[in-house]
Structure 1
Amino acid sequence: MPDIIQLLPDNIANQIAAGEVIQRPASAVKELLENAVDAGATEIRLLIQDAGKSLIQVIDNGKGMSETDARMCFERHATSKIHQIEDLFRIRTMGFRGEALASIAAVAQVELKTKRAEDTTGTYIEVENSLVKRQEPVAANTGTSIAMKNLFFNIPARRNFLKTNASEMRHIVDEFIRVALSFPEIFFSLSANGQEMFHLEKGTLKQRIVQVLGNQYNARLVTVQEKTDYLNIYGFTGKPETAKKTRGDQYFFVNNRFIRSPYLNHAVMSAYQEMIAPDSFPLYVLFIDLDPAQVDINVHPTKQEIKFEDEKIVYAFVQAAVKHALAQFSVTPTLEFDLDPNIQQLDAINKPFTEDKQEAATTSPLFKNFSQKHQAHFIQPTNKSELKHWRDFYEGENNKNPASRIQHPEAGDQPSAAGSQGEKKFESLLDQLRKEEQPTGSITLHSPLTTHNPQARLELVISEQAPLSQLHNLYIVVPTNRGFILVHQQLAHERILYERFIAAATDKAMATQRSLFPVTLQLSAQDAVLMNELMSDLNQLGYLIEPFGNQAFVIQGTPADLEQGNEKMIIENLLEQFKHFSSDLKFSKREKLIRSLAWQQAIKPGTSLSDKEMRRLIDDLFQCRQPNVTAGGNPTYIEFKRDYLEQLFKR
């Protein structure tokens, strides 16, 4: 039998290795930007065509390469940063493995132009499928320009797995922002399809954060600065009012390298405890500098997952630094009171404080308790007869309204029949439940049982005459022939909207009501890319949105059944919800959008509903294909049967 084990050709081995490093265009952007930073560049420009599928080009003014280095940089494991194994534990540069350019050259057509300051001419190299096709001297500026064309041209299967242009562009923008935030002292620009998206001048870290995340954060950032013998922590966190209901802009950098760390994120969240709502997420851009020997960055090919030698001490330092910063800048919660205009009309304000009144005030026992020594705990003897007036006042008020008194049956009193409006509604509900016959003028609704048998069905008969009751402006009590159901108004509305949006997305588009006064929406670069991705689906769902210049959009119309006036807030919240909606679940873009819209537009807790609105909601709910649960699996209502209620009262 012949031998069957053989070495892979270099180009195939490089393509396999490239799969770990270059997963999508954004992966190449990250590697090329980090190489430019390591080259000592002070100006870095990123050019993108077709979301990186056609072109990714990075131009820098760094130190450039010699002719030999330019040829060697495309070889696997060719690096200038590692000479012995100990160097792995002293890494302070961004790239060091020598895999990036070799991986890029294995899956794209690459053109390199580079020149050192001391050289009269530069070097031009073309590489395709890991093979050098052309090399020649060329006139060039000091620095390096590397263009990566036709990504995955030689691996069609990998190219087919790429997402839409808008989706891939969002990933590119994310990588660009991470590198730009790490090095505010470097000028960065990003142009996509000939249009400049970012123009970030050199400046301070705060200036860079505001440039990238938006001017609204300029006065809402809190400085974090803690220096210890073990590590240094610096950066900015947002004031509590910047917290969002969904995970917002949160960045951790260790030795200027962006990392993902749920563990450290928990440290920051714990520092905000009791300052923001439990389901809110603060903004932060935090940098941790420590000895590279204390960190293992060689855990993952993307180098975004790292290990600390002592993660508990890092956690404690991060938590303490953020807490100290928030306390130092007095952004802990405070109570603020607005002056009531009626106070200005009180006698104490309007009438003069005469000498007689001053004398009467200073001779009072209350004044002496505060002004004389050893009076703080002194209790003035009280005439017990004075308490009688208070007893008479209290008992007299209660006697006027016997229903407000709480009496125990064992004391011989019977519970009062009178009560609040809510009690009357509940009594009416009980009367309805006592009736055995089916009420006249009723409607019959069929709904799947929320039991272990999904095939079983129950028949609910809801009277059109029996009153519906709203409880806590959150639940709707609906009498039925079997007892009653307790409907969660928000979750029920979510199910209604979800099925309505599903139908619109797959069949007939929803009707659009044009706005008399179109609203202009100015978005960040990331959100503008996301809006371009979602625009066609939003149009299908009744939103008429059109581009309006650089990162601006105009809301020309909204769904016909949606109340106008808060279009801007709805779209902004929708984008934020979409970006961070169940990232661990593999939903399609359209499914995420529909669920986000249903959540955004559903009736919120605390909304008071009229009887007509409640009935419309109940009718719409039981017209749904699956009325008993939301798309996320939460129950929309709970049924209370009559026999169960009787058992509660031991009847």
Structure 2
Amino acid sequence: MSKVHLLPEDVISKIAAGEVIERPASAVKELIENALDANTTSLKIHLKEAGKTLIHIKDTGSGIDKEDLENIFLRHATSKISSINDLDKIDSLGFRGEALYSIAAIADVTLKSKTPGQDSGWEIQMRSGKKISFKPAALPNGTELEIRELFFNTPARRKFLKSNTTELNQCLNVIIPYALFHYHCRFLVTHEGKTLLDLNPHATVTERMAAILNLNREDLIEKQYHAKESNIAIKAVLGNINIKRPQRDLQFIFINGRPVQNKGISFHLNQVYQLIFPKGHFPAFAVFIEMPPQDLDVNIHPTKREVKIKNEYQLTSILREMCEHALMTQGQAKQAISPQSSAISESVIQKAIKNDTEKTFETTPAPEFLEDTHAPASSEPYAYPHADAQAQIQEHLFSVEDQNLQSKLSRARFLGSFINKFLIFEFDKSLFVVDQHAAQERIAYEAFIRQMDKGKIEVQELLSPITLKLTPQEKVAFERSKDKLEELGLSSSFFDDETLAIHSYPILLKNPEPAMRHLLSGENISHCDHETIARRACRSSVMAGDFLNKEKAEYQRDQLIKCKDPFTCPHGRPTVIEMSEKFLDKQFLRT
């Protein structure tokens, strides 16, 4: 008896749907793209249970004709392309005709639509890929789509969905980039009746970025260049050096209006800021690249996040120079960035774009905007300059974890502070360099754990609250964590829909604003142990750039020596480096 047989059509459709629609955010993405392709000026999105039980989207776009409604749920039914040649010049967000077919196969779907030329709209209902009804409907011009009980007929897939908080964050990760780029369009996003995002049309993308991220307009630097001969335009909106994030959640890259992840662009822009920022802090930026569609291949993956682009190496070089040029006006950045690299002109861009050597890279983006935020620096596909030389020096620089360190360091004489980042001590023909931020992190980390274990956290009450503007994702994180934050001494409440007022904070944390942001990023702190909470909270300890005089430097040294594990920070970096006379002699070729 034959073991090979053709699968039934309903099984095929469910398998195919699972490849396109992985979670509620996947459905939200496809529907937003359809609405924007229809030139909507207003987009309202309402979710229940993070989209698991309801996704309701209403737009004011061009609508769908009655004749097309019955075909729109067929697989590969699309108005965006008609021949293979169209794949080389795709200028719409959606084009395959798989989204509605896939959604209808795994959910209850009701679609209403009206075009300006119709007297009334029409409504079609689908369930498990089959038409249930088709009838007239009263509605204004545009399209309204309701998806209920996503994955109701594929329980195995529904079982693997994450918590409502996680799935809601994934939906926001999808929505926010589109809301940023399409600044002329109104976006309203609600969840369980609560408003998460309410954006009226803006005049510029910079104004929209400031509104979404709750930044001041002056916090953003705008740079743009156009290489006329190559028909490539680049615009960058860069956060200034005061905007430091605990993760890469405010970094956006767009190519021809499509949000993508590109490790090359991300790496080079982050590397410029790393000359200024403390370790573990990341900038905010949005990059907009317009290029001929034939130079961009988006038809290689269902999510359309993975793309192939020509001249990626040249583009990243240009963007790096643009970023350096922008930050040269930013005080501290002047010292960190070489002025020789700040000059950029259209001729430089044209020369780079027209370089004879073309390189094509395939990007390997994370599935969602937040999921690549904790990757170690070594995961980047590029090497830092002079990496070999740094490695050779590192062989001779060793973390002083021997039993004599505490005795030697306690008797060491303080020589001074270097660039308000490193404390220099001297004892017995050796120099000891203390990373003041790493050391203070270790001190605060162990002290905070002791206080949490005892249930007695020392708290500073504030006469006037500290206000903190939250992103939509941070608002969601606060709602799920507010009880735990209260236990930690971070008493806070909403001042308005977007502003958090901090009324008290643990004295050990020093800087409540960055501490709160670190605690609201990543895993829900309600499920974390004391070590994890302390590790995240204490990143806001004394930072590089804070001046410590002799008295404060020696006090920090003494506190560090008393720690259980004084020679690494909570994140594994060394706190102290010893350079012996022998090592220094060798560097100067004296031996």
Q: 300-309 vs 595-604, which deviates more?
A: 595-604
Q: Compute the displacement of 1:283 (Å).
A: 4.1
Q: Compute the displacement of 1:25 (Å).
A: 2.1
**Change beyond 3 A, Cα 1:137–1:507:** farther
Tell me the secondary structure at the aligned position of residue 229 of structure 1: coil
Structure-2 separation of matches of 1:507 and 1:157: 43
Aligned pairs for 1:158-557 within 5 A: 158-196=157-195, 197-218=197-218, 220-238=220-238, 240-242=240-242, 244=244, 247=248, 249-266=250-267, 268=269, 276=276, 282-319=283-320, 467=411, 469-470=413-414, 472=416, 474=422, 490-498=437-445, 508=455, 510=457, 512-557=459-504
In the alignment, does 2:518 pair up with 1:568?
A: no
Structure-2 separation of matches of 1:239 and 1:4: 60
Q: Compute the displacement of 1:22 (Å).
A: 2.2
Q: Is the CA contact (8 Å cut-off) linking 2:296 and 2:309 kept in structure 1? A: yes
Q: 599-608 vs 537-546, which deviates more?
A: 599-608
- Once the two structures are superposed, residues 349-401 of structure 1 have per-residue CA deviations (whole angstroms, 9 ceiling, x without a partner) of xxxxxxxxxxxxxxxxxxxxxxxxxxxxxxxxxxxxxxxxxxxxxxxxxxxxx
- Which TM-score applies when normalising by structure 1? 0.66
Structure-2 separation of matches of 1:231 and 1:575: 44
Q: Is the CA contact (8 Å cut-off) linking 2:327 and 2:334 kept in structure 1? A: no
The AA in structure 2 aligned to 1:39 is A
Q: Is the CA contact (8 Å cut-off) linking 1:236 and 1:286 kept in structure 2? A: yes
Q: Compute the displacement of 1:224 (Å).
A: 0.7
Q: Compute the displacement of 1:242 (Å).
A: 4.9
Q: Which runs of 5+ in 2 are unaligned?
A: 336-397, 585-591
Q: Compute the displacement of 1:635 (Å).
A: 3.7
**Change beyond 3 A, Cα 1:516–1:334:** closer
* Structure-1 residue corresponding to 2:378: none
* Structure-2 residue corresponding to 1:74: 73
* Structure-1 residue corresponding to 2:355: none
In the alignment, does 2:539 pair up with 1:599?
A: yes
The structure number with the bigger radius of gyration is: 1
The AA in structure 2 aligned to 1:249 is L
- Which TM-score applies when normalising by structure 2? 0.72
Structure-2 separation of matches of 1:330 and 1:487: 27
**Change beyond 3 A, Cα 1:589–1:102:** farther
Structure-1 separation of matches of 2:332 and 2:575: 37
Q: Which runs of 5+ in 1 are unaligned?
A: 336-448, 452-456, 582-586, 646-651
Structure-1 separation of matches of 2:222 and 2:577: 46
The AA in structure 2 aligned to 1:634 is R
Structure-2 separation of matches of 1:509 and 1:154: 50
* Root-mean-square deviation over aligned CA pairs: 4.4
* Structure-1 residue corresponding to 2:33: 34
* Structure-1 residue corresponding to 2:354: none
In the alignment, does 2:5 pair up with 1:9?
A: no
Could you tell me which of 506, 524, 528 is aligned with 1:559?
506
Q: Is the CA contact (8 Å cut-off) linking 1:468 and 1:611 kept in structure 2? A: no
Structure-1 separation of matches of 2:136 and 2:453: 57
**Change beyond 3 A, Cα 1:472–1:219:** closer
Q: Is the CA contact (8 Å cut-off) linking 1:225 and 1:325 kept in structure 2? A: no
* Structure-2 residue corresponding to 1:618: 561
* Structure-2 residue corresponding to 1:97: 96
**Change beyond 3 A, Cα 1:588–1:294:** farther
**Change beyond 3 A, Cα 1:552–1:124:** same
Q: Is the CA contact (8 Å cut-off) linking 1:462 and 1:479 kept in structure 2? A: no
Q: Compute the displacement of 1:60 (Å).
A: 0.9
* Structure-2 residue corresponding to 1:428: none
Q: Compute the displacement of 1:567 (Å).
A: 2.7
Q: Compute the displacement of 1:169 (Å).
A: 2.6
The AA in structure 2 aligned to 1:27 is S
Structure-2 separation of matches of 1:318 and 1:300: 26
* Structure with greater contact order relative to length (CA < 8 Å, sep ≥ 6): 2
Tell me the secondary structure at the aligned position of residue 520 of structure 1: strand
Q: 607-616 vs 42-51, which deviates more?
A: 607-616
Q: Is the CA contact (8 Å cut-off) linking 1:537 and 1:590 kept in structure 2? A: no
Q: Compute the displacement of 1:468 (Å).
A: 6.1
Q: Compute the displacement of 1:94 (Å).
A: 0.4
Tell me the secondary structure at the aligned position of residue 72 of structure 1: coil
**Change beyond 3 A, Cα 1:202–1:516:** closer
- Once the two structures are superposed, residues 322-368 of structure 1 have per-residue CA deviations (whole angstroms, 9 ceiling, x without a partner) of 667778x9999669xxxxxxxxxxxxxxxxxxxxxxxxxxxxxxxxx
Structure-2 separation of matches of 1:40 and 1:465: 67
The AA in structure 2 aligned to 1:558 is Y
**Change beyond 3 A, Cα 1:323–1:465:** closer
Q: Compute the displacement of 1:89 (Å).
A: 1.0
Tell me the secondary structure at the aligned position of residue 180 of structure 2: helix
**Change beyond 3 A, Cα 1:475–1:274:** closer
Q: Compute the displacement of 1:297 (Å).
A: 0.5
Q: Is the CA contact (8 Å cut-off) linking 2:25 and 2:171 kept in structure 1? A: yes
